[in-house]
Structure 1
Amino acid sequence: MSTPQNNLRNPLPLAPAQEAEVRRMYYARVRTKCADDIKQFADCARGRTLSVVWNCRAEYRAMNSCMMLNATKEEEDAAREDWFAGVLERRRKKEEEHVAVEKRRVEVIEMTRKQEEKERVEAEKKLAGQQKEKEVKKSGGSWWR
C-alpha cells in the first residue's frame, strides 16, 4: 500500500480561478526572464506578416529556447509560493474594498433619506398653499377688501 505524498510547497488544492492566477503569475515570471529575447523577436517581427517565418527565425528560436529553459516546474512552484504568500494581502485588500463599499452604501442611503425629507416638506408646503387658495376662494376672495 502506497502512502500519499504531501506536497509541502502546495499545501492546498486550488480552485480553477486560483490555478489560473498561479499560471498567470508563472507565465509573467518566465516572460520577465526572457524579456530581452522577446523584445528582439518583436522588433524583428514589427511591420512583417508572412515573412516573419523566415526573416526572424533566429530571434524566434532564441526566444523559444529561453522560454523552454525557464518554464520549469521549479518556476511554477515559485509562482505558487508567491501566490500563497499574497493570500493575506489579497484578503486584507478585499476587506478594505468591502468596507469602502459599505461606507458608500450608507452615504447613499442617507442622501436618499434627506432627499425624501426635502420632497416631503415641499409637498406639505405646496398642499398648505393649495388649501389657503381654496379658503380664499370659499370666502369670496379678497378682491373687494
Structure 2
Amino acid sequence: MAAMASTNTPGDALPARRLPMPSRNPLPLSSGQESQVRELYHARVRGHCAAEIKLFAECAMGRTVTAPFKCRAQNRAMNTCMVAHATPAEQDAAREEWFATRMERAREREKREERRKEQEKFHREWWGLPIEDRDGEKGKDVVRRAERVGGFAARNDDGQLSKDRHR
C-alpha cells in the first residue's frame, strides 16, 4: 500500500512516508453539528473574500443571462480567492471556533427555553385558566376544549348539552 507508512533500514536514503495528520479536533460530531461547523467554515471563507464577492455582486446587479459573460473576470477573482482560502486549516479553525462557542450556544438555548416557559405561563394566565388548572394534564385539557361560538354548545349523542365538542 502506497499510503501506509513504510519502514526504512538505516541504509535507505528515502524517509518513511506517513499518512497526513488528522484534524486537531477528531471528536465525531452529529450531522447537525457538522452542518453548523460547515456553515461557520463557509462564513469564514466568505469573510476572507468579501471584497471580491462585493465586486462580482456589483457587476452582476441587474443582469440575468449575461452576468457570466460580462462579469467573467470578477467571477474568476472571487472563485480564486475562495479556493485559496477553502483549506483544511480553515476547516480546523472553524471547528475550533465551534467548540469554543459551545458554552455560549448552551446559554442561548437555556434563555430560549426560559422564554418559552414564560410565554406558556402568560398564555395560561391570559386565557384565564384557574391556577390549579394552569399546569399538568388538566390545564392542557381546558386549553383543548372547543370554544362556544354564538352562545350555544353542541349536543351529545344522548341529546344533552356538551361543553366539549371533541369527545
- Sort the TM-score into its range (normalised by shorter chain): 0.5 to 0.7
| Matched residues, number | 112
Structure 2: tracts of 5 or more residues without a match: 6-19, 134-167
- Cα deviations across residues 87-130 of structure 1 (Å, max 9, x unaligned)? 1111112112222322333444454116x9xxxxxxxxxxxxxx
Quote the sequence identity (%): 46
Aligned with 1:28 (options 32, 43, 46): 43
Q: Are residue 98 (structure 1) and residue 113 (structure 2) matched?
A: yes
Q: One-letter code of the match for 1:112?
A: L
- Could you tell me which residue of structure 2 aligns to residue 16 of structure 1? 31
Q: Higher RCO, 1 or 2 (CA under 8 Å, sep at least 6)?
A: 1
Normalising by the residue count of structure 2, what TM-score does the alignment of the two structures yield? Answer: 0.59
Aligned with 1:113 (options 127, 130, 135): 130
Normalising by the residue count of structure 1, what TM-score does the alignment of the two structures yield? Answer: 0.67
- Could you tell me which residue of structure 2 aligns to residue 61 of structure 1? 76
More helix by share: 1
Structure 1: tracts of 5 or more residues without a match: 117-145
Tell me how large the CA RMSD over aligned residues is. Answer: 2.4
- Cα deviations across residues 15-52 of structure 1 (Å, max 9, x unaligned)? 10111111101001111110110111111111222222
Who wins on radius of gyration, i.e. which is larger? 1
